Amino acid sequence: MARLGIIGAGHVGEIVAYTAALRGGYNEIVLYDIDEKRLDGVVSDLEDANRFYPHDTAFIAGTIEDVAKAKEIVVASGRIPENAQRRDEFKNNHEDVKDYIPKIMAAGFDGVFVVVTNPCDAIAYAVWKYSGLDASRVIGSGTALDSERSQTILARTYGVSVHSVNSMMLGEHGDSQFLPYSQVKINHIPFDQYIEENNLTADKDAIEESVVYRGHRAFFGKGSTQYGIANTVNDILDAVHFDSKKSLQVSALHTGEYGVDDVFVSTPCVIGKDGIEKIITLNLTDEEMEKYRKSAETVRSYQASVE
Ligand SMILES: NC(=O)c1ccc[n+]([C@@H]2O[C@H](COP(=O)([O-])OP(=O)(O)OC[C@H]3O[C@@H](n4cnc5c(N)ncnc54)[C@H](O)[C@@H]3O)[C@@H](O)[C@H]2O)c1
């Protein structure tokens, strides 16, 4: 039996469950939500597609204790304020994880948390603190989603396939994240060289800004972001569940990398069955290093109230 646990059956939680069922890695998906009516509706709707998943999948409207029996738990609860400001969201979401994470641990959880709830770096820090788990077992979804957005936007800007773009966003999953152009390649060619050789122009700041604020378009347009994050989370889950050692830009506790300590921020990390196996330190320019450290300090300012 492979069980996935999901806390929060909202817009994100339900599509994470659906995507996981379509990928076929789990045969039991347990969701928990304080809104029991919604939870029942979500489970019933997911079940209605039973005939179409690659394997038989049981959807369970569960308790905290049921979720705790999973090997992987996605933290996707949330109380999003109307302005969608991360700082405003922290207070409520911090209170929630402070309440339910110890309950999950008391029920015997011994797996890996994937934290989506925003601000996801500071909430990952809180989940780590309140779980008492080794930090490697807590993965913030971090800038994995933003990195995919950067690939989409660069591919569209330069008329190439998204699969021909190597790019990433680093730092906070929030406004202070940045696009390290020193790491970008298009068709395997370093970005600046690609632009020059093809007589193109690059408004680097504008591209970066459109990635950073990309989420607003979906959120203020339809009230949620779902497909990118659900697939991102499932990529992370796959790496854990199948012990794939894949490297993804996720939020991990730093202990000196880039000169950053005691903060969860994103850099590429190797992910396997026990969570984060290696934090990769990239060869960034001085200016990028400075942005990295500044971004980490922004996250630190959120997490100050985590005991
Ligand atoms: N990290 C990312 O890239 C990313 C992307 C999208 C959304 N998010 C975040 O994910 C979270 C969920 O987003 P959403 O769009 O699904 O929100 P939503 O409002 O649709 O759903 C949140 C759900 O959490 C439930 N909930 C609230 N408190 C709870 C608690 N204590 N225990 C269990 N369930 C609880 C609510 O009842 C609701 O069903 C938010 O914090 C959002 O900002 C993060």
Per-residue pLDDT, 251: 98
Per-residue pLDDT tens over the stretch 62-87: 999 999 999 999 999 999 887 777 77
Residues 123 and 171 in one domain: no
| Structural domain harbouring 270 | 143-304
Cβ atoms of residues 229 and 116 within 8 Å? yes
| pLDDT band per the 50, 70, 90 thresholds, residue 121 | very high
Among residues of the chain, what percentage have pLDDT more than 70? 100
**Residues acting as catalytic residues:** 173
Residues 151 and 300 in one domain: yes
65 by Cβ neighbours in 10 Å (0-12 / 13-18 / 19+) ranks as middle
Per-residue pLDDT, 220: 86
Residues 155 and 176 in one domain: yes
Residues 136 and 154 in one domain: no
Is a pLDDT exceeding 90 seen at residue 281?
Answer: yes
Residues 269 and 194 in one domain: yes
Residues 121 and 156 in one domain: no
Among 102, 118, 140, identify where a domain stops.
Answer: 140
Residues 161 and 119 in one domain: no
Q: How far is the CA of 261 from the centre of ligand 1 (A)?
A: 28
Residues 285 and 225 in one domain: yes
| Closest Cα to atom 9 of ligand 1 | 117
Residues 280 and 155 in one domain: yes
Question: In CATH, what number is assigned to the domain containing residue 215?
Answer: 3.90.110.10
Helix (H) / strand (E) containing 58:
strand 58-61
Among residues of the chain, what percentage have pLDDT more than 90? 91
- 145-104-15-148 Cα dihedral, nearest 10 degrees: 10
Per-residue pLDDT tens over the stretch 225-267: 999 999 999 999 999 999 999 999 999 999 999 999 999 999 9
Cβ atoms of residues 120 and 140 within 8 Å? yes
Per-residue pLDDT tens over the stretch 283-306: 999 999 999 999 999 999 988 888
Per-residue pLDDT, 102: 98
Q: What average pLDDT does this structure show over 172-197?
A: 97
What is the number of H-type helices and E-type strands within the chain?
Answer: 11, 12
Buried b or exposed e, range 136-169, using 16+ CB within 10 angstroms: bbbbbbbbbbbbbbbbbbbbebbeeeeeebbbbb
Per-residue pLDDT, 96: 97
Q: How far is the CA of 181 from the centre of ligand 1 (A)?
A: 32
Question: In CATH, what number is assigned to the domain containing residue 91?
Answer: 3.40.50.720
Residue 263 among known ligand-binding residues: no
Q: How far is the CA of 9 from the centre of ligand 1 (A)?
A: 8
Among 109, 140, 171, identify where a domain stops.
Answer: 140
Distance of alpha carbon 32 from alpha carbon 52, whole angstroms? 23
Residues 161 and 53 in one domain: no
Alpha carbons within 13 A on the beta-carbon side of 184: 30
Among 140, 166, 188, identify where a domain stops.
Answer: 140
Residues 135 and 149 in one domain: no
Residues 118 and 185 in one domain: no
Structurally, the chain folds into a number of domains equal to: 2
Residue 241 among known ligand-binding residues: no
Distance of alpha carbon 138 from alpha carbon 25, whole angstroms? 20
Residue 152 among known ligand-binding residues: no
- The binding-site residues of ligand 1, defined as CB within 6 angstroms of any ligand atom, are 7-13, 32-35, 38, 76-80, 89, 93, 96, 100, 116-118, 120, 141, 145, 173, 224-225, 229
**Mutation probe of ligand 1 site: the residue of 43, 116, 120, 299 with most atoms within 8 A of C-beta:** 116
Per-residue pLDDT, 263: 98
Per-residue pLDDT, 306: 85
